[in-house]
Amino acid sequence: MGRLLAIDYGLKRVGLAVSDYMQVIATTLTTVPTVDIFPYLKDYMSREQVDAIVVGDPKQMDNTPSESAKSVHLFVDELGQQFPDIDIYMIDERFTSKIASQTIAKSGKSKKARKDKGLIDTVAAVLILQDFMKMKKL
């Protein structure tokens, strides 16, 4: 069994999280500048077995696509072309950044760490991955 890889895609940076090989535990991986995401993913997947990729799908409160949805969907299309043998799923990412910020604050991190957008993006990716793994078990 391989890992699951979660992506919190943004125009400036991409937060990444991965599961363990048993696909039970989600952990932060890293944050990558958006312009470097495909070289990073190619390198990572050459070293690690990835069974599926989960990408956060940005939606508004009324369940319509958010402003960033178009760029995320273009990214997912390219992801499918770059990695045609890997299943790609999209999952609602509403509130993940807000919950990530709250989680970081509760963890006792310094005020500076709480404002680190890269850290927020990786924790948001963990939340996306945890939601996906919960849905998979149902």
pLDDT-wise least confident of 3-7, 102-106, 126-130? 102-106
pLDDT band for position 114 (50/70/90)?
A: low
Global pTM value: 0.86
Q: Which domain holds residue 52?
A: 3-137
Per-residue pLDDT of 22-79, as tens digits, reads 999 999 999 999 999 999 999 999 999 999 999 999 887 787 777 888 999 999 999 9
Phi, psi (deg, nearest 5) at residue 69: -60, -40
**Burial class for 103, CB neighbours closer than 10 Å (0-12, 13-18, 19+):** middle
The pLDDT value given to residue 137 = 75
Work out the pLDDT band at 119, boundaries 50, 70, 90.
Answer: confident
CATH code at 126?
A: 3.30.420.140
Chain centroid to CA 79: how far? 13
Q: What residues form DSSP beta bridges with 15?
A: 8, 31
Total structural domains in the chain? 1
pLDDT at 109 over 90: no
Tens of pLDDT along 76-89?
Answer: 999 999 999 999 99
* Backbone angles phi and psi of 86, in degrees to 5: -110, 130
Sort 18 into a burial class: Cβ within 10 Å, 0-12 / 13-18 / 19+. Answer: buried
Which token pair is 64?
Answer: 């319509």
Cβ–Cβ < 8 Å for 15, 120 = yes
Q: Are 90 and 57 in contact (CB under 8 A)?
A: yes
